[in-house]
Structure 1
Amino acid sequence: MEHKKEAVWRPEVHFSPNYGWLNDPNGLIKLDDEYHMFFQYYPEGTSWGPMHWGHAVSEDLIHWKELPIALYPDDMGYIFSGSCILDKENISGFGKDGEAPVLAFYTSNEATTHQEQQCVAYSHDRVNFTKYDGNPIIPGPEHSNRRDPEVIRNDIIGGFTMILTEEERIAFYHSEDLIHWEMSGSFAPGESGLSGICECPCLFRTETSEGEKWVLMISMILTEEERKKTLSVYNKSGYVMQYYVGDFDGKTFHDTEKADVPLLVDYGTDFYAGVVFSNVDYPLSVGWLGNWEYSADLPTSEEEFRGVMSLPRKLSLVKTEEGLRLKTEILTENIGFKKSRKVSDETADINAGALVLRASAGGEGEIIIGNGTHDISVKITETDYIIDRSNSGRMDFNEKYAEERLGIFRIPRQSKSGNLKLIWDHSVLEIEADNGLTPATLFAFPEKNYDRVSVKGNVTAEIFE
């Protein structure tokens, strides 16, 4: 496809659609040697529209190939977010010729009444999907927020569990056949964290030094009052991803950690709706890089797309002085960049576009990526990281994007390790700080590609490009 504008903002190593609008990752699943990523997609323009499920595959989670659209809107409504599982035993009965079907669980959203109901579709070839003629499998009322089903195997009491958002709570449903579901429990995030309209729930198990634990991740639309609770740990955005650590008894989730502050999956402005892959050996996540406060106006529409996915993230729990905390390892090995040089207290030219920078801070310092006119900086102090994108490039496309609360923000350090990894990719910055305890993701839109890195103070960095 010929694009109207020379690409300055389209990422090299992050997935974006060739054309159109993208948001939440859906149905992440590994099948044989391929990773399948479905996603919220509008193929007819770069603004949000009637949602489809787009589809892409990759062997290394970096290089993606777009496939035909998997699910189209229908008489029941738009195709909202959900999940996929491989029905290995053909419990659903959707299998054919001895082949295990792939089941896609999704929410149908009726555009006029906003009735949200849970549905299922199945595939025999992993590309083309047939919607179950008995949908919906869980009916829903009009004008509701009941969506984004995640289905997992339940090896505690048998059968399967669906995790579903219902307004300001998480609901758990149980099924023996993947078609008929009964509610088994619920969890209210506001009892020990932030509250608001819940979206895109994700429940996974992981081993820790204290034995097996479960993590529940929730994307959340905060009220103005709830935003005030995040002032010490966040950038005052109205959209966050938080997580809880606890136990799952097969029927519902129990928050056993009960942290004193909200536990955030990402501390930047532009990471949302992250979920994990099904059918993999460890928690492996991808999230949507976006923020509903301004994503509808991102200038990338000039390059015929809006919407980017994060790099893959390996998730685990580690013991800290405050308790068990989520560790995020942003996986960059398959990018293939080679080390070009080491820099310390100097400015180095870089190839315009994308890079990975590994830094070690022995004290206070600063890392600046820019082009001589615009830049984005990460300051390291004894207690905080201060991220400043207020002079990073285009700021005029949305009033909220240009506000100081989203342009300069302070993140408390959770470790004194001083190790950071920065991935800059044309318009996306992903940061892995404090050995993965403090990830942060944000956009910046320079008018021309950044072409230099400055390292100041007690910081040494290696550049890979």
Structure 2
Amino acid sequence: MTTSFPITAAGSAIDSTPTLRPSAHFTAERAWLNDPNGLIQYKGVYHLFFQTNPHGTTWGDISWGHATSTDLVTWTEQDVAIPCTPEEMAFSGSAVVDSRNTAGFADQERGETALVAIYTSAQRATGDGPAIQSQSLAFSLDDGATWSRYAGNPVLDIGSEEFRDPKVFWYGGDDGHWVMVLVEAVERTVAVYTSPDLINWTLASRFGPAHAVGGVWECPDLFPLIVEGTGETRWVLVVSLNPGGIAGGSGAQYFVGDFDGRTFVAERLTDSPHLTDYDWLDYGRDYYAAVSFDNVADGRRLMVGWASNWQYANETPTAPWRSAMSLVREVTLVRSGDGRHRLVQRAVLPADRGAVRVFETTVPCGPDDLTTLAVHGEGDERLLVIVDGRERTISCDRTVSGDTGFHPDFPSVDRAPIPEECGDQLDLQIIVDAMIVEVFAAGGLVTFTEQVFPRSNYDRVSSV
């Protein structure tokens, strides 16, 4: 049955002038943007590096852009941190605080601390041989303002054309070591390397292929979380893939298990061919390459993803910029009713909501319940959120959301299973920020990220 229910909303009045540029989702001012890189907090400042083409609004001449924030929602774009060169592009990677000066880049007598970026050197294709991908370093001695490439680059080169996206972190105490996880992309494996100094690396193990393997693997992340309500620690391995995502095109899956500093072992692997039997960070079309921040002072695990999809990313109708990041999400880990460990994701929202609209409600999802919500502005363009109690699914339908004709793969209806623990009630939080809609269901057990391109700003949610 169809039912009505109260919807609460928070946010300031929205200017009637249509705009596609979001306010709390970071966008580059006048350039292309894709994967988040080098996420780190240092001296109270969050640094968001990102893949960018400083010379245009489509993929190419890939370099590391840079933005900073003190609250995770108001970002200031900085100068390009690691520019491409005639010989290489600077593909995805990570950054760490080398507080022990293991690489020797800092002059500790002068009180220096080095921030070190670990990125993929992607050789430009020439007629002389394959375009090798290897791992290189850059460092900053002025709190991330400027960066220098290490003269001894690359620090890890296996002669592969598909070897990329290093995520690096320190494992253990003072007698610990650096860990790098990166992908052997076409083999659908995550390789684990260790190092005492960020320069000399030794292969420790590999994980995969496993679960979704419909495309190449990219942008891995590995981090520990305490299971809520317990003292138990589990490790979460995030792997993006393109194509082969749950909603079509690119997407991001995760595995929960154990890690001893060298080897990751997943606690649950299934031979099921059904994508719905795997664990996904997001069930929408536009959440990819998500990675977490390093060195966060309060210990929270904070993640951000690229809010787009490789199927149509180069064609989305915005100018003079293209693509946005998701909102930053705090992720935690819970044990669900069936014994599986699952991630819970909660959006970091601005204290002053401004143009960001947040709608919250609880809808019935019993076997006889069918609820449709329309997220919309003026006119008939809308994104539909459909909760089907009989099928036990929640869907986002953007087939009439605005401009959908710029690419045939853009119109979509994306679905996720309703978690069993929800019973007959499902809570929803719908966040609207210009061209980005993020939906958090079941307390953040299920999320959707969807781009929309309406003529009129979405500023309301109605029951249909």
TM-score (norm: length of structure 1): 0.86
1:21 equivalent to 2:28? Answer no
The answer for the alignment partner of 1:205 in structure 2 is: 224
1: CA distance, partners of 2:151 / 2:453: 45
Task: Report whether the alignment pairs 1:268 with 2:278.
Answer: no
Aligned partner (choices 131, 153, 157) of residue 114 of structure 1 = 131
| Alignment match, 1:345 | none
Instruction: Name the residue aligned to 2:95.
Output: 84
C-alpha separation in 2, matches of 1:428 and 1:409: 15
CA contact (8 A) 1:117 1:138 kept: yes
Q: 2:418 aligns with which of 413, 422, 425?
A: 413
Question: Counterpart of 2:203?
Answer: 183
Q: What's the counterpart of residue 372 of structure 2?
A: 366
Match of 1:377 in 2: 384
Q: 1:101 and 1:128 mapped to 2: Cα distance?
A: 11
User: Contact 2:164–2:182 (CA<8 Å) still a contact in 1?
Assistant: yes
Q: Which residue does the alignment assign to 1:101? A: 114
Among 232, 235, 239, the alignment partner of 1:214 is: 235
Post-superposition offset of 1:189: 3.5
Tell me the CA shift for residue 116 of structure 1. Answer: 0.3
**Aligned residue runs from structure 1 range 387-406, under 5 A:** 387-402=396-411
Aligned length: 418
Find the aligned partners of 2:351 and 2:34 in 1 and give their Cα distance: 23
Match of 1:354 in 2: 356
Tell me what 2:10 maps to.
Answer: none
For residues 256 and 68 of structure 2, the distance between their equivalents in structure 1, rounded to whole angstroms, comes to: 31
> Secondary structure at 1:296's aligned position in 2?
helix
* 8 A Cα contact 2:73 2:348, kept in partner: no
Q: In structure 2, what is the Cα distance between the partners aligned to 1:127 and 1:63?
A: 18
Q: Distance in 2 between matches of 1:408 and 1:155?
A: 44
* C-alpha distance after superposition, 1:75-96 (max 9, x if no partner): 5410000000000011110002
Is contact 2:283–2:415 with CA below 8 Å preserved after alignment?
A: no
* Aligned with residue 298 of structure 1, among 309, 316, 326: 316
Instruction: Please list the CA deviations of residues 201-248 of structure 1 after superposition, one character each: whole Å capped at 9, or x if unmatched.
Output: 0000011137110000000124xxxx4xx7xxx33x131100000001
Q: State the distance in 2 between where 1:115 and 1:160 align.
A: 24
Cα distance, 1:195 vs structure 2: 5.3
In 2: Cα distance, 1:52 partner to 1:193 partner: 29
What one-letter code is carried by the residue in structure 2 that aligns with 1:207? I
Secondary structure, counterpart of 1:19 in structure 2: coil
Contact 2:362 2:428 in 1 (8 A): yes
Structural mapping, 1:217-236, within 5 Å: 217-222=238-243, 227=244, 234-235=246-247
Q: Aligned AA for 2:91?
A: F
Cα 1:7–1:120 change in 2 (3 A) is farther
Aligned-partner Cα distance in 1 for 2:254–2:183: 14
Q: Distance in 2 between matches of 1:199 and 1:252?
A: 19
Distance 1:130 1:426, change over 3 A: same
CA distance in 2, matches of 1:337, 1:94: 41
**In 2, distance between residues paired with 1:83 and 1:7?**
36
Question: Which of 49, 72, 77 lines up with 1:61 in the alignment?
Answer: 72
TM superposition shift of 1:451: 4.2
CA contact (8 A) 1:106 1:120 kept: yes
Distance 1:152 1:308 in 2: 26
User: In structure 2, do the counterparts of structure 1 residues 304 and 335 end up closer, same or farther at CA, with 3 Å as the change threshold?
Assistant: farther
1:387 partner SS:
strand
Which deviations, in whole Å up to 9, do the C-alpha atoms of 1:367-422 show, x marking residues without a partner?
211222211110112111121110011011112213xxxx1122211142411111
Task: Determine the C-alpha separation between the residues in 2 that align with 1:206 and 1:451.
Answer: 36
Unaligned runs of 5+ in 2: 1-16
1:397 partner SS: coil
| Alpha-carbon displacement from aligned partner over 1:150-172 (angstroms, at most 9, x marks no partner) | 11101187211111101210001
2:78 alignment partner, SS class: strand
Match of 2:162 among 145, 157, 173: 145
Q: Alpha-carbon deviation of 1:356?
A: 0.7
Q: Which residue of 2 aligns with 1:3?
A: none
Letter matched to residue 375 of structure 2? I
Question: What CA deviation, in whole Å up to 9, does each residue of 1:64-120 have, x standing for no partner?
Answer: 111111001125410000000000011110002221100000001112032101000
Taking the aligned partners of 2:268 and 2:346, their CA distance within structure 1 comes to 22
Letter in 2 for 1:163: V
CA distance in 1, matches of 2:50, 2:284: 22
| Aligned 8 A contact 2:18 2:455 in 1 | no
* Distance in 1 separating the partners of 2:100 and 2:19: 48
Deviation at 1:15, TM superposition (A): 0.7
Contact preservation (8 Å) 1:13, 1:335: no
Paired with 1:84 and 1:145, the residues of 2 have a C-alpha distance of: 21
Structure 2 Cα separation of the partners of residues 311 and 448 of structure 1: 22
Q: For residue 342 of structure 1, what is the aligned residue in structure 2? A: none
Q: Secondary structure at the match of 1:441?
A: strand
Give the aligned residue type for 2:178.
F
Q: TM-score with structure 2 length normalisation? A: 0.87
Choose between structure 1 and 2: higher strand proportion.
Answer: 1
1:443 corresponds to: 451
CA contact (8 A) 1:9 1:426 kept: yes
Q: Deviations over 1:438-459 (max 9, x none)?
A: 0110111102223442125xxx
CA distance in 2, matches of 1:253, 1:196: 22
SS of the aligned residue for 1:308 comes to: coil
